[in-house]
Amino acid sequence: MVDDEDAVRGAVSLALAKEGYDVTDASGGADALTKAVQEQFDVAILDIRMPEMTGFDVMHAMRRMCPDTIIIILTAMPDPESRFENLTKTAGVYAYLKKPCKLQALRDTLASALDQH
Protein backbone atom coordinates (compact mmCIF):
# COMPACT_ATOMS: atom_id res chain seq x y z
CA MET A 1 0.00 0.00 0.00
CA VAL A 2 1.73 3.15 -1.22
CA ASP A 3 0.25 6.51 -0.24
CA ASP A 4 1.84 9.66 1.13
CA GLU A 5 -1.20 10.37 3.31
CA ASP A 6 -0.64 8.63 6.64
CA ALA A 7 -4.34 8.39 7.47
CA VAL A 8 -5.31 6.79 4.16
CA ARG A 9 -2.33 4.43 4.09
CA GLY A 10 -2.93 3.41 7.70
CA ALA A 11 -6.66 2.88 7.32
CA VAL A 12 -6.38 0.78 4.16
CA SER A 13 -3.44 -1.22 5.52
CA LEU A 14 -5.25 -1.95 8.78
CA ALA A 15 -8.49 -2.92 7.03
CA LEU A 16 -6.69 -5.30 4.66
CA ALA A 17 -4.63 -6.78 7.50
CA LYS A 18 -7.86 -7.50 9.39
CA GLU A 19 -9.03 -9.38 6.28
CA GLY A 20 -5.98 -11.62 6.60
CA TYR A 21 -3.73 -10.00 4.01
CA ASP A 22 -0.05 -9.57 4.78
CA VAL A 23 0.31 -5.81 4.21
CA THR A 24 3.46 -3.76 3.81
CA ASP A 25 3.03 -0.02 3.52
CA ALA A 26 5.21 2.69 2.03
CA SER A 27 4.95 6.45 2.39
CA GLY A 28 6.23 7.18 -1.10
CA GLY A 29 7.63 5.83 -4.32
CA ALA A 30 11.27 5.46 -3.31
CA ASP A 31 10.26 3.64 -0.13
CA ALA A 32 7.97 1.34 -2.15
CA LEU A 33 10.65 0.48 -4.70
CA THR A 34 13.21 -0.23 -1.98
CA LYS A 35 10.77 -2.63 -0.34
CA ALA A 36 9.89 -4.21 -3.69
CA VAL A 37 13.55 -5.04 -4.26
CA GLN A 38 13.79 -6.67 -0.83
CA GLU A 39 10.53 -8.61 -0.97
CA GLN A 40 8.25 -10.03 -3.68
CA PHE A 41 4.74 -8.54 -3.58
CA ASP A 42 1.69 -10.08 -5.21
CA VAL A 43 -0.11 -6.72 -5.41
CA ALA A 44 0.87 -3.06 -5.20
CA ILE A 45 -1.84 -0.50 -4.41
CA LEU A 46 -0.60 2.91 -5.54
CA ASP A 47 -1.73 6.49 -5.09
CA ILE A 48 -0.96 8.70 -8.10
CA ARG A 49 -0.30 12.11 -6.58
CA MET A 50 2.72 11.83 -4.29
CA PRO A 51 5.75 14.08 -3.82
CA GLU A 52 9.07 13.16 -5.46
CA MET A 53 7.75 10.13 -7.39
CA THR A 54 4.24 9.86 -8.75
CA GLY A 55 2.29 6.64 -8.70
CA PHE A 56 2.87 6.49 -12.47
CA ASP A 57 6.65 6.63 -11.87
CA VAL A 58 6.35 3.80 -9.34
CA MET A 59 4.09 1.83 -11.67
CA HIS A 60 6.57 2.01 -14.56
CA ALA A 61 9.51 1.09 -12.33
CA MET A 62 7.61 -1.84 -10.84
CA ARG A 63 6.68 -3.06 -14.32
CA ARG A 64 10.42 -3.34 -15.05
CA MET A 65 11.53 -4.65 -11.64
CA CYS A 66 8.58 -6.85 -10.67
CA PRO A 67 6.63 -7.73 -13.81
CA ASP A 68 4.43 -10.26 -11.99
CA THR A 69 3.22 -7.79 -9.36
CA ILE A 70 -0.43 -6.81 -9.86
CA ILE A 71 -0.90 -3.03 -9.85
CA ILE A 72 -4.06 -1.37 -8.50
CA ILE A 73 -4.36 2.41 -8.59
CA LEU A 74 -6.30 4.00 -5.71
CA THR A 75 -6.36 7.77 -6.02
CA ALA A 76 -8.36 10.93 -5.45
CA MET A 77 -6.78 12.58 -8.49
CA PRO A 78 -9.56 13.81 -10.78
CA ASP A 79 -9.80 12.09 -14.16
CA PRO A 80 -12.83 13.64 -15.88
CA GLU A 81 -11.91 12.39 -19.36
CA SER A 82 -10.71 8.95 -18.16
CA ARG A 83 -7.23 9.61 -19.56
CA PHE A 84 -5.48 8.19 -16.50
CA GLU A 85 -7.79 5.21 -16.40
CA ASN A 86 -7.11 4.46 -20.07
CA LEU A 87 -3.36 5.03 -19.61
CA THR A 88 -3.24 2.62 -16.70
CA LYS A 89 -5.08 -0.04 -18.69
CA THR A 90 -2.56 0.16 -21.52
CA ALA A 91 0.26 -0.06 -18.94
CA GLY A 92 -1.11 -3.31 -17.54
CA VAL A 93 -2.77 -1.96 -14.41
CA TYR A 94 -5.40 -4.33 -13.06
CA ALA A 95 -7.79 -1.67 -11.71
CA TYR A 96 -8.18 2.05 -11.25
CA LEU A 97 -10.25 2.95 -8.16
CA LYS A 98 -11.24 6.44 -7.12
CA LYS A 99 -11.01 7.75 -3.56
CA PRO A 100 -13.06 7.72 -1.55
CA CYS A 101 -13.43 4.05 -2.32
CA LYS A 102 -15.71 1.78 -0.38
CA LEU A 103 -13.64 -0.81 1.43
CA GLN A 104 -15.79 -3.59 0.00
CA ALA A 105 -14.97 -2.45 -3.55
CA LEU A 106 -11.26 -2.56 -2.76
CA ARG A 107 -11.58 -5.99 -1.13
CA ASP A 108 -13.53 -7.33 -4.11
CA THR A 109 -10.99 -5.90 -6.57
CA LEU A 110 -8.09 -7.34 -4.60
CA ALA A 111 -9.69 -10.78 -4.31
CA SER A 112 -10.51 -10.83 -8.02
CA ALA A 113 -6.97 -9.78 -8.95
CA LEU A 114 -5.43 -12.50 -6.80
CA ASP A 115 -7.85 -15.13 -8.12
CA GLN A 116 -6.81 -14.33 -11.70
CA HIS A 117 -3.09 -14.20 -10.89
In a domain, 40, yes or no: yes
In a domain, 1, yes or no: no
Rg of the chain over Cα atoms, rounded to whole angstroms, equals: 13
- CA-to-CA distance for 107 and 111, rounded, in angstroms? 6
Return the CATH number at 44.
3.40.50.2300
The residues with which 46 forms a beta bridge, in sequence order, are 2, 73
Is 80 exceeded by the pLDDT of residue 86? no
In a domain, 84, yes or no: yes
What phi and psi values does residue 26 have, to the nearest 5 degrees? -140, 140
The number of distinct structural domains making up the chain is 1
pLDDT in tens, 44-85: 999 999 998 999 899 999 999 999 999 999 888 776 667 767
Residue 90 one-letter amino acid:
T
In a domain, 17, yes or no: yes
In a domain, 26, yes or no: yes
Range of the domain at 55: 6-116
In a domain, 77, yes or no: yes
pLDDT in tens, 7-24: 999 999 999 999 999 999
In a domain, 43, yes or no: yes
